[in-house]
Amino acid sequence: MARAIWSGAISFGLVNVPVKLYSATSPKAVRFHQISSKTGARIRQKRVDSTTGDEVAFEDIVKGYELTPDRYVLIDPDELDALDPKTTKTIDIEEFVDLAEIDPIYYDHSYYLAPSTGGAKAYRLLLDAMRDAGKVAIGRIVIRSKQQLCALRPAGAALALSTMLFGDEVLAPDRIDELETLDDVAASDRELTMARQLIDSLSADFDPGRFKDEYRERVLALIERKAAGEEIAVAPAAEEDAPVPDLMAALEASLAEVRAGSSDEPAPTPKPARRRSSKQTDDKPERAKAR
């Protein structure tokens, strides 16, 4: 059975909804240990003093904030503990907003909320009211002594909670110099029309079950083969210079490929694009790919 990682109550106004918090995700990354290639034994990590090379006991370690290279402000653990947010057992809702107003870039980790004993009616009331209003609740929660911004929203028959980044933790895209080059380029009406046709051809209802971590599956297959004693020959990867793409030709070829995949009829052969001047081909977007 799933184990709750936090229990408390949702608080909005004078209403309290007792709830439990459960993980909503289970990352499937393949994890490796560091092994000595000579002995086959695991590598042991040690904490050593960089000036003496001597191992340092855990109780002798304090936190330090670097001001300048090799100059630190030392902070005692008790000093940090005094600053920890007050441990509460409530998710304090501060406001309700429309889901479309939240940029997904702010979301961090996802959880499910379930009603605690005696809280089913209040939980159902909040769930139905939020669904009818089409709103997402924004509040704060303290998990493992860390106060976090969070969003609560209806997710089927449950309330989902997503921890969020604070505003100053998300970087604005205008700090990226390469984006300034977009002011000097523009797509033609024909290119824009074909790009929209390609988007329409690839549009579908989102089904996460259609997507798999193919790299993880290949890694696990490799592990199984090596565990069975199979010798694995690795061919060196050949590096090839990618040709400069012709945007119109790429759009036409992509549309033809998509149409061929959705029909038994042979795909029409795209017309060759006219050769463009070097000025027209500068700073073109990367070639569109249909998967």
Q: Give the model confidence (pLDDT) of 195-220 as tens digits.
A: 988 889 888 898 988 988 888 898 99
User: pLDDT class for 183, splitting at 50, 70, 90?
Assistant: confident
Closest Cα partner for 254 from 204, 211, 210, 291? 291
Q: Which of 170, 182, 142 is nearest to 283 (CA)?
A: 182
Q: What is the pLDDT of residue 273?
A: 43
Domains of the chain: 6-26+84-168 (2.40.290.10), 176-199+246-291 (no CATH)
Quickly state the pLDDT bin for 15 (edges 50, 70, 90).
confident
Q: Are 117 and 164 in contact (CB under 8 A)?
A: no
The Cα–Cα gap between 251 and 116 comes to: 54
CA–CA gap between residue 146 and residue 108 (Å, rounded): 14
Residue tagged 């990352």 (tokens): 27
- Tell me the CA distances in angstroms from 213 to 130, 141, 208, one per residue in order: 34, 32, 11
In sequence order, which residues have a C-beta less than 8 Å from that of residue 139 and are 6 or more positions away?
Answer: 10, 12, 91, 92, 93, 94, 149, 150, 152
Q: Comparing C-alpha atoms, which of 6, 15, 155 is closest to residue 92? A: 15
With 0-12 CB in 10 A as exposed, 13-18 as middle and 19+ as buried, what is 102?
middle
Beta strands 6-12; 90-98: pairing state: parallel
CA distances 231 to 30, 37, 234, Å, are: 21, 17, 10
If one compares 282 and 29, the residue with the highest pLDDT of the two is 29
> Which ranges of the chain would DSSP assign to H, the alpha helix?
77-81, 120-133, 189-201, 214-227, 247-261, 278-281
Q: Report pLDDT digits (tens) over 136-182.
A: 999 999 988 788 999 999 999 999 999 999 999 999 998 898 888 88
Mean pLDDT across the stretch 233-239? 74
Mean pLDDT across the stretch 2-9?
91
71-127 tens-digit pLDDT: 999 988 788 877 776 667 899 999 999 999 999 999 999 999 999 999 999 999 999
